[in-house]
């Protein structure tokens, strides 16, 4: 009887250990799968953005540049850009609520005065949020914008490098944020101690979120 109780106790201990291990592993595995999905979707969006600008450069660049130069202010320039993007990303013209907030990968909230704070946000396909920011409206050498893409929209984590990525757009060229950083700088920025902005380029060139 004592032996049977001992075996039963050993069985229960083993079972509890297995359950504890599973509870530890499953959330990590789910998070990895979700993050991999975000990265895949970002790379797809960026490829589409590149295609869009290739089409514009090939067929409409001169006319579009003239339109931007004729624009009287940043709002008119933004309207032109939205009209260009709309067929590719199905942007809704209604802007997003101000209650939407964004964080950096290091968990710091993006302040209103920050360069990477986007005030003009729009819903797009599948609930995705697209941000547009005119950063060079006074120059006469063509458009200069930043764009951000929150892959899963208003759902959390709303964090750069997790579900939010971005790109610089200037003079018909487009580059993911972080394209000017070295590989070591990218790895540092695309970590829990960094901003996560560089992840936009790091993941685009094949970097892994668990590196």
Q: Which two tokens stand for residue 50?
A: 């590149």
In a domain, 84, yes or no: yes
Domains contained in the chain, number: 1
Q: What is the dihedral of CA 196, 122, 169, 117, to 10 degrees?
A: -50
Please check whether residue 95 lies inside any domain of the structure: yes
Mean pLDDT within 133-148 = 67
Q: How far apart are CA 129 and CA 122, in angstroms?
A: 6
Is 172 inside any structural domain?
Answer: yes
Please report the pLDDT score of residue 11 as a whole number.
47
In a domain, 21, yes or no: no
User: What is the rounded CA–CA span in Å between residue 21 and residue 76?
Assistant: 57
Flag whether 22 is in a domain: no
Q: Which of 165, 159, 164, 35 is nearest to 103 (CA)?
A: 159
**Mean of all residue pLDDT scores within the chain:** 79
Least confident interval from 20-24, 80-84, 89-93, 184-188:
20-24
User: 3-state SS string over 60-104?
Assistant: CHHHHHHHHHHCCCHHHHHHHHHHHHHHHHCCCCCECCCCCCCEC
Q: Is 35 contained in some domain?
A: no
**Is 15 within a domain?**
no
pLDDT at 204: 93
What pLDDT shows up at residue 64? 67
CA 36 from centroid of its chain's CA atoms: 13
Find the domain containing 138 and state its range: 43-202
pTM as predicted: 0.77
Query: What does the pLDDT look like over 156-197, one tens digit per residue?
Result: 999 999 999 999 987 667 899 999 999 999 999 999 999 999
In a domain, 144, yes or no: yes
């Amino acid at each position: 009887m004592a032996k049977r109780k001992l075996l039963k106790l050993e069985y229960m201990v083993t079972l509890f250990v297995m359950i504890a291990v599973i509870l530890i592993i499953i959330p990590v595995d789910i998070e990895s799968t979700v993050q991999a999905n975000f990265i895949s979707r970002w790379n797809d969006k960026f490829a589409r953005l590149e295609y869009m600008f290739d089409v514009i450069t090939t067929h409409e660049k001169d006319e579009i540049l003239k339109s931007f130069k004729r624009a009287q202010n940043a709002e008119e320039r933004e309207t032109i850009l939205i009209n260009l993007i709309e067929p590719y990303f199905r942007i809704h013209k209604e802007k997003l609520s101000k209650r939407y907030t964004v964080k950096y990968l290091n968990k710091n909230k993006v302040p209103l005065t920050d360069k990477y704070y986007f005030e003009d946000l729009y819903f797009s396909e599948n609930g995705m949020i697209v941000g547009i920011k005119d950063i060079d409206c006074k120059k006469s050498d063509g458009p200069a914008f930043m764009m951000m893409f929150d892959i899963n929209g208003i759902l959390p984590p709303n964090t750069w490098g997790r579900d939010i990525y971005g790109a610089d757009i200037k003079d018909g060229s487009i580059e993911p944020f972080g394209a000017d950083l070295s590989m070591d700088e990218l790895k540092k920025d695309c970590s829990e101690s960094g901003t996560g902005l560089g992840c936009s380029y790091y993941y685009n060139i094949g970097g892994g979120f668990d590196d």
